[in-house]
Chains A and B, each alone.
Chain A
Amino acid sequence: MWQFIVRRLLYSIVTLLILSATIFVIVRLTGDPVSLLAEAGARPEDLERIHRQWGLDRSWPVQYVSFLQNIVTGELGKSFNYRLPVSELYFQRLPNSLTLGLVATLISILVGVPAGIISAVKVNTWWDTIAKGVALLGLSIPGFWLGLVLILVFSVWLRWLPTSGAGDWRHVVMPSLALGWYFAASMLRLTRSSMLEVLGSEYIKLARLKGLPDVVVIAMHAFKNALIPVFTLAGVNMVVMVNAAVIIEVIFAWPGIGRLLYEGIFNRDFPLVQGVVVMAGFMIVGINLIVDILYAFIDPRIRLTR
């Protein structure tokens, strides 16, 4: 078991190294951040100065090593545009992003899981069709469009909710709906298929044969077993929602990490983008690691394969 955990841990570290190298290279391949300052006729002298100041005159390997050092110290480097350690910016925004991500995850679970169960239990009835229809809408409406429709209806026409920004609970409603909607669809699909699989298994058939009522079979047995993959997905989805809800945060001017990332990307704020992506990577890799280890505890065969 320990061997398994150590091996998995090593894998995770290698994965994170590849991730950091990938993001390090691709942000640099998109160009020079300083050329974006050129609008109103800056001069080569000014730009050279900024290159030096931002450490961009050093070679890539040197920059990469200092990036790794910054990860190790937890500072993640200093943002070009904000002149603050990326970790500080990140944790300033994190509460907002967590709020948004949690509420959206909750919405996606509250909508997706019951609908998925109903549609699996009542498979091929009109319940199933309605649920599938909802999933379809979720999957085929881009977030920016849904967001603007929500603003138009609830802020401009009905005047119930504020358009944007963060504040009290009313500010959270629309962005989390727009964000959770898409993920609800994927939760619904997974719950449905996972339930169908479990309901079709020998073990449930046996429970039914024993004469247990349907409700008990579904609630006690099928539900429990079907939910492991569903909640794993919810966890990964939530990491994405917290760290990369770029479009929804832009539309609703939500002061979260996604918008930080968005501005970082288009301003070529290398340390900022690298830092946020590495943080997200840490979380996703971490969740996967935990899930792997848990599975290995539950099912010893897994330790041998892979």
Chain B
Amino acid sequence: MRAVIEAAREAPLVPVAILGGLMLVAILADLIAPHDPTLPVKGANVFDPPFWMEGGRTTTLLGTDFQGRDVLSRLIHGARVSLIVGLMGTLVAGGIGTAMGILSGYVGRWVDQVIMRVTDAWLALPALVFAIFLATMVGPSMWNIVFVLGAVYWTRYARVIRGEVLTLREREFVKLAEIAGASKLRVIKRHILPNVMNTATVLASLTIGVVIIAEASLSFLGVGVPPPQPAWGLMLAEARPTLMAGQWWLTVFPGLCILLIVLATQLFGDWLRVRLDPQLRNL
């Protein structure tokens, strides 16, 4: 009981609150969004400003976009798309990368050679260029973008995790388990995986922001999440000419949302890193 209270007191309130809030918004998007995010609001014009400005109205609190759609509703639904892309993209990258890292580090020999050479080669491909090609190949859809970003960013995990596993392999508890006749799979499951999870989690907290920005960049290049789906990165990319035209609310609000989620994951990651393993500060 005391431990729980202790943990709760230690848990970083700000990032947890932000992330929790965003997830809640994402889950409840259909209930709380005042309008359909993909259709123009009846009676509204295109480029209506936020309600506190002249010409703004309270039905569309944060204004409307170039199609007359409600910006607030798009941001709310965008939380869902962006969280899915950010979290799932990171999960895919982390999943592949961790598996490859463990395989490479624990099995060793030619498996290690093959995986590490592929990792090196793919790390030497400029990430965005690689992502553009994959996105073009598989075609645009939200889940394809998740897959693409996962396929591009797994290499970072593989390198780090492999290093971890190489030291773990020499540790006594692993040696003992091996002597006791545990199968490789069992050793990986019982001893290796739990011990690399910390590293993987910390890496993940840093990757989410990278993935979300990468999604925005892909949208800028026309191969990101397809419209009319509202992803924050897409909203930012689509509305970029309006920056000069004066409709600042179309880029500033999604920009702030991205800032918020990157802030939260970074703070969370910092906290995790210090708490879980002081050695990981170098990541």
A and B touch in the complex (CB under 8 A): yes
Listed in ascending order, the chain A residues whose CB lies under 8 Å from chain B are: 11, 14-16, 18-19, 22-23, 26-27, 29-31, 132, 136-137, 139-145, 148-149, 152, 156, 190, 193-194, 196-197, 229, 240, 243-244, 246-247, 261-262, 265, 273, 277, 280-281, 284-285, 288, 305
Give 13 CB contacts A-B under 8 Å: A14-B117, A139-B213, A139-B266, A142-B237, A145-B216, A193-B282, A194-B282, A196-B281, A240-B126, A243-B126, A247-B220, A265-B136, A280-B125
Interface residues in B248-263 (C-beta closer than 8 Å to A)? 251, 255, 258-259, 262-263
Please measure, in the bound complex, the distance between the C-alpha atom of A145 and the C-alpha atom of B283, giving whole angstroms. Answer: 27
The one of B129, B210, B213, B282 in contact with A244, judged by C-beta atoms closer than 8 angstroms, is B129
- Complex contacts, B125 vs chain A, CB 8 Å: 19, 22-23, 277, 280-281
Residues of A within 8 A of B216 (CB): 142, 144-145
Chain B hits for A244, CB < 8 A: 126, 128-129
Chain B interfacial positions (CB closer than 8 Å to A): 117-118, 120-126, 128-130, 132-134, 136-137, 166, 209-210, 213, 216-217, 220-221, 233, 236-237, 240, 243-244, 251, 255, 258-259, 262-263, 266, 281-283
B129 adjacent to A246 (CB under 8 Å): yes
Contact indicator A305/B137 (Cβ below 8 Å): no
Contact B262 A140 (CB under 8 A): yes
Evaluate whether A15 and B117 lie within 8 angstroms (CB atoms) in the complex, with A29-B137, A140-B262 already known. Answer: yes
Known: A149-B243, A244-B128. A142 touches B121 (CB 8 A): no
**Complexed CA–CA distance, A277 and B122 (Å):** 11
Which of A141, A144, A229 contacts B282 (CB under 8 A)? A229
Question: A152 near B124 (CB under 8 angstroms)?
Answer: no
Q: Are A277 and B262 in contact (CB under 8 A)?
A: no
Kindly report which residue of chain A lies nearest to residue B278, judged by CB atoms.
Answer: A200
- Give every chain B residue within 8 A of A132 (Cβ-Cβ): 266
Shortest CB-to-CB span from A142 to chain B, Å, is 4
List the 10 shortest-distance A-B pairs measured between CB atoms, nearest first.
A244-B126, A140-B262, A18-B121, A19-B121, A284-B124, A193-B281, A281-B124, A15-B120, A142-B216, A30-B136
Please state if B124 and A145 are interface contacts (CB–CB under 8 Å).
no
Please give the distance in Å from A12's CB to the nearest CB on chain B. Answer: 8
Task: Please state if B133 and A137 are interface contacts (CB–CB under 8 Å).
Answer: no
How far, in whole Å, are A148 and B166 apart by their CA atoms in the complex?
Answer: 46
CA–CA, A152 to B240, complex, Å? 11
User: Nearest residue in A to B241 (C-beta to C-beta)?
Assistant: A148
Q: Is the CB of B258 within 8 A of A148?
A: no
The answer to whether A136 and B262 have CB atoms under 8 Å apart is yes
The answer to whether A142 and B220 touch across the interface, beta carbons within 8 angstroms, is yes
Min CB–CB distance A233 → chain B (angstroms):
11
Report yes or no: A144 in contact with B240, Cβ–Cβ below 8 A: yes
Of the candidates B122, B166, B217, the one whose C-beta lies within 8 Å of that of A247 is: B217
A26 touches B124 (CB 8 A): no
- Would you give the shortest CB distance from B208 to chain A, in whole angstroms? 11
A196→B270 CA distance, assembly (Å): 13
With contact pairs A145-B251, A277-B126 given, residues A140 and B133 touching in the complex (Cβ less than 8 Å): no
Contact of A142 among B118, B166, B217 (CB under 8 A): B217
Which of chain A's residues have a CB closer than 8 A to the CB of B259? 136-137, 140-141
Min distance, Cβ A112 to any Cβ of chain B, angstroms: 16
In the bound assembly, the distance between CA atoms of A85 and B237 in angstroms comes to 34
CA distance A68 to B71 in the complex (A): 51
| Alpha-carbon distance between A273 and B120 when the two chains are bound, in angstroms | 19
What is the distance, in angstroms, from B259's C-beta to the closest C-beta of chain A?
A: 5
- Nearest CB of B to A34, in Å: 16
Q: Which residues of the partner chain A approach B123 to less than 8 Å between Cβ atoms?
A: 284
Q: A144-B240, A280-B126 are in contact. List 19 more A-B contacts (CB 8 A).
A: A11-B120, A14-B117, A15-B120, A26-B133, A30-B133, A132-B266, A137-B259, A139-B266, A142-B236, A142-B258, A145-B216, A148-B244, A197-B282, A240-B126, A243-B126, A244-B129, A246-B129, A265-B129, A277-B129
A27 to B240, CA, bound (A): 29
Q: Whole-angstrom distance from the CB of A215 to the nearest CB of chain B? A: 23
**Given the complex of chains A and B, what is the CA–CA distance between A22 and B243 in angstroms?**
38
Q: State in angstroms the CA–CA spacing of A15 and B115 once bound together.
A: 11
Cα distance, A99 to B258, chains bound together (Å): 31
What A residues does B209 contact at CB under 8 A?
Answer: 139-140
Measured CB to CB, the closest approach of chain A to B171, in angstroms, equals 15
- Whether A15 lies near B124 (C-beta < 8 A) is yes
Whether B133 pairs with A18 at a CB distance below 8 angstroms is no
Q: How far is the CA of A209 from the CA of B123 in the complex (A)?
A: 43
Min CB gap B271→A, angstroms: 13
Known: A152-B243, A277-B125. A11 touches B117 (CB 8 A): yes
Q: Nearest-CB distance from B211 to chain A (Å)?
A: 12
Tell whether, in the assembled complex, residue B121 and residue A16 are in contact, meaning their CB atoms are under 8 Å apart. Answer: yes
Question: Which of B129, B132, B237, B259 counts the most chain A CB atoms within 10 A?
Answer: B129
Residues of A within 8 Å of B136, CB to CB, are: 30-31, 265
